[in-house]
Structure 1
Amino acid sequence: MGNLHEKRIAITGSRKMAEMSMMVQKKGGTAYERPLQETIKCKPEDMQEILEAVIASGTDWSVFTTGVGTAALFEAAASLGLSEPLQKAVAASRIATRGYKTVQELKKHGLAPEIIDGDGTNAGLLGALEEVDLAGQRVFLQLHGERVPALEQGFAEKGADLTCIMPYETTIPYPEVVTKLVHEIIDGEIDAVLFTATPQVRVLFKEAEKQGLAGQLARSFNEKAVAGSIGRVTTGTLSEYGVTRVVAPEHERMGALVVAVDEFFKGD
């Protein structure tokens, strides 16, 4: 038994929710399933035109930003019979990546990045490319779940000829759950909220903003329900919304997050 006895822990990611709930329960806590984000793969046919264009014309740079997106991209290519030509087109280009999972996924396809971000963030990726001249260069950019204006703008400002592809989309499965969680946190009905990806944070705070409760929500995180976070990007997004009390394990794993939150409540 851990330190989560009588603690109410909200889990916000749809992925592996059952496993995380079990981990919380084994530590003595009560898991509240509050899915704020769901990842849906895009249809291969919707990506076919872009993939065929990149294969036909080639690209100077291939930029991958998530492991799950990289996997989905190559899965789509395989289903379209384009796996080998896509691999060749990417291999012939210079490669930049964000995140260690992305590097691992590329390795499965015999690909290795030349440029790797410094901290797992989009800003870190752009920083790693700061000294690279991209003027007039063709850049094939894999986006992650939603448009990322700052990232796209960063490449545009460097003069890149940008082609974007989105292998999956992030959706809100149950809008009413988002509203419910905002009030549960503010009302002190939750002791910790576990965030496993940045969109979960944005979804929650955008709902709070609609209700004029964003500031109150941030204060509640800092004083009542502690925020648990996987990854520097997620932690950075919490900080942007004014959340300063964050439990973030060194190893970016769901199990490590539960252990870190359990340790936070030690002696409580």
Structure 2
Amino acid sequence: MQDVLNGFTVGVTAERKAAEIGALFARRGARVIFGAAMHTVPLPEDGELATATEEVLAVPVDYVVAVTGVGFRGWIEAAQLSGIGDRLLARLRSAEVMARGAKARGAVRGAGLVESWTSPSEESAEILEHLLAHDLAGKRVVLQVHGDPMLKFREALRAAGAEVVPVTVYRWTDPVDLPALDRLIDAVLQGEVDALAFTSAPAATNLLARADRTGRGARLRETLRDKVFIACVGPVTAAPIDAAGLPYMLPERARTASLVRLVADELPKYAVR
């Protein structure tokens, strides 16, 4: 098992925990090429996030949706740094809190809150379905988003009569080391990469977008479709890959260790095919 990926090259597109993920692949014998496909930027405390937090504090809320663990924690931490953390937690404590998956649930509990429901599939669509089963007329729904504005999600809630307060904690930009991403794309095109691992939807989106902006999009998609094993940590991460019509696989659990095991188990079979 330790050398099961010997002779294979895996591209790692993550920014956070890239070294950790790469080490897990290297431990199994893989050569690793790093090319972070996005960079997470916290919103300024005096900007959009602070305004959204004040809107949450202004009037009682009925439902709170924690979409990501890192985003929910970042929101609470920003409020605490601004001196309004206790007020925010008191406001959220009076609402029904829902979590999109285990990581978001962990962040909710870490803040001293108790969730009423967690999406088993860790998909936003399941949370939306659960919310729409309630009478939302006149209700205030706080939606913690993480880069993706979730516009269709918000529109569906508003159509059901809810007032939606989006709280955006982070935005995504091109990676700090853009040449590294370009080198990864070139390595894929040159047939040097056997597998690509994605741990976030923005990374998948940005990798394809960068290839498009540099005139390599069509060739990259063709190569990914026929010659590269694509592994995504979960269905949310896979959405841009799926939208591009590219084949991919998901681990049984949306965890980094499970993603690495998936590649270790399936890449040798894929190479034989």
TM-score norm. by structure 2 comes to 0.89
Offset, 1:224: 0.9
CA distance in 2, matches of 1:221, 1:159: 43
Corresponding position: 1:37 with 2:41 = no
Letter of the structure 2 residue corresponding to residue 125 of structure 1: I
Letter of the structure 1 residue corresponding to residue 27 of structure 2: K
CA distance in 2, matches of 1:63, 1:125: 8
1:154-193 aligned at under 5 Å gives the runs 154-173=156-175, 174-193=177-196
Offset, 1:72: 0.3
Letter of the structure 2 residue corresponding to residue 136 of structure 1: G
CA distance in 1, matches of 2:129, 2:27: 41
Offset, 1:66: 0.6
CA distance in 1, matches of 2:55, 2:237: 33
Distance 1:155 1:147, change over 3 A: same
CA distance in 1, matches of 2:55, 2:151: 23
Counterpart of 1:194 in structure 2 is 197
Counterpart of 1:230 in structure 2 is 233
CA distance in 1, matches of 2:250, 2:145: 25
Offset, 1:216: 4.2
Distance 1:257 1:139, change over 3 A: same
For the 8 Å contact 1:201–1:234, the answer to whether it is kept is yes
For the 8 Å contact 1:60–1:94, the answer to whether it is kept is yes
Counterpart of 2:106 in structure 1 is 104
Offset, 1:241: 1.1
**For 1:79-133, what per-residue CA distance to the aligned partner results, in whole angstroms no more than 9, with x for missing partners?**
1121221111111112222122111111122322334334222222211222122
Counterpart of 1:76 in structure 2 is 78
Letter of the structure 2 residue corresponding to residue 128 of structure 1: H
Corresponding position: 1:260 with 2:262 = yes
3-state secondary structure, aligned to 2:106: helix
Q: Where does structure 1 lack aligned partners over 5 or more consecutive residues?
A: none
For the 8 Å contact 1:170–1:199, the answer to whether it is kept is yes
For the 8 Å contact 2:34–2:184, the answer to whether it is kept is no
Distance 1:148 1:8, change over 3 A: same
1:92-171 aligned at under 5 Å gives the runs 92-171=94-173
For the 8 Å contact 2:65–2:98, the answer to whether it is kept is yes
CA distance in 2, matches of 1:116, 1:137: 20
For the 8 Å contact 2:109–2:115, the answer to whether it is kept is no
CA distance in 2, matches of 1:177, 1:68: 25
Q: Where does structure 2 lack aligned partners over 5 or more consecutive residues?
A: none
Using the TM superposition, name which of 129-138 and 12-21 deviates more.
Answer: 129-138
Q: Which runs of 4+ in 1 moved over 6 A?
A: none
**For 1:120-149, what per-residue CA distance to the aligned partner results, in whole angstroms no more than 9, with x for missing partners?**
222222112221222222222111124222
Offset, 1:266: 3.6
Offset, 1:237: 2.9
For the 8 Å contact 1:178–1:203, the answer to whether it is kept is no
Offset, 1:161: 1.4
Equivalent pairs counted in the alignment come to 267
TM-score norm. by structure 1 comes to 0.90
Letter of the structure 2 residue corresponding to residue 22 of structure 1: A
Could you say what the CA RMSD is over the residues aligned between the two structures, in angstroms?
2.1
Offset, 1:213: 5.2
3-state secondary structure, aligned to 1:189: coil
Counterpart of 2:17 in structure 1 is 16
CA distance in 2, matches of 1:111, 1:229: 30
Counterpart of 2:209 in structure 1 is 206
Counterpart of 1:86 in structure 2 is 88
